[in-house]
Amino acid sequence: MPEGTEGGHGAHGESKEPREFVKYTFYKVRPEWRLLPADVKKKQKAEFAAFLHDLEDEVVLRVYSLAGIRADADLMLWTIDPRLETFRDVARRVYSTDLGHYLETTHAYLGATRPSEYFGGASPTAEERAATKALPRGQRYLFVYPFWKKREWYSIPFEKRQEMMRDHFRVGHRYPNVKIHTAYSFGLDDQEFMLSFEADEPLDFLDLVMDLRPSEASKYTEWETPIFTCLLATPEQALDALGI
């Protein structure tokens, strides 16, 4: 699987750039919600959509639909903010809505931005400094998954790891229409990294994954599931996908 782990967009060493926290929260609507009268569900969806639009003015937010794709999630909120407390406040507000009373969080992943130790130099470029910022492009699809490296990866000399990662990313650069986002979860959550990839064509991501399978760095992948295929949506589109 493509490992945006440790690399691609960062600069070597510490950065003075502000860093951000990244949260992927997946929700499933409880079955009893579907038994409510249609007018009640319509009102709840309108209230929840208005709440999400208000939230878009406060934090970096993208809404995705997974209805018809995953059995364990109907929608996902990708939120980005420099304050960890923001995610607690967002959760409280979600569950304070009428629709929120029927939402179950099935998966939630936390990470933070940081420069890579494998790329860049003493004078990082603008792109390398951007490793501390999570900047969604707004492409049609987002592929999200947690990622772990095998422990032996960290015992390999740094220069060898750097060489493997650079070879790995040379393959990735053949797919300029696929945008990688890497968040570091060490000490913050169960996984080591959270990876997400934006693309307008799902098969581009599939082909990228296949091309990266033989890379030497891929041998040191420990775990990389579950994988979520998410469709970018307006709040109204994501909620309409829940049904009437």
Query: Exactly one of 102, 109, 141, 145 is catalytic; which is it?
Result: 145
Of 23, 25, 50, 36, the C-alpha closest to 102 is 36
Q: pLDDT tens, 119-176?
A: 755 445 555 555 677 889 999 999 999 999 999 999 999 999 999 999 988 999 999 9
Please count the other Cβ atoms lying within 10 Å of the Cβ belonging to residue 15: 18
If we measure between CA atoms, which residue out of 146, 136, 142, 145 comes closest to residue 59?
Answer: 136
pLDDT tens by residue, 76-134: 999 999 999 999 999 999 999 999 999 999 999 999 999 888 875 544 555 555 567 78
Work out the mean pLDDT of the chain and round it to a whole number.
91
Domain boundaries, the chain: 1-244
- CATH superfamily of this structure's domain 1-244: Apc35880; domain 1 (3.30.70.1030)
Note the pLDDT of residue 3.
57
Q: What is the pLDDT of residue 120?
A: 59
Instruction: State the residue for tokens 């249609």.
Output: 38
Rg of the chain (C-alpha set):
19
Per-residue pLDDT, 116: 83
Q: Cα–Cα–Cα angle for 194, 18, 6, nearest 5°?
A: 35
154 is catalytic: no
> What is the token pair recorded at 195?
């990876």
Q: What is the model's pLDDT at position 8? A: 38
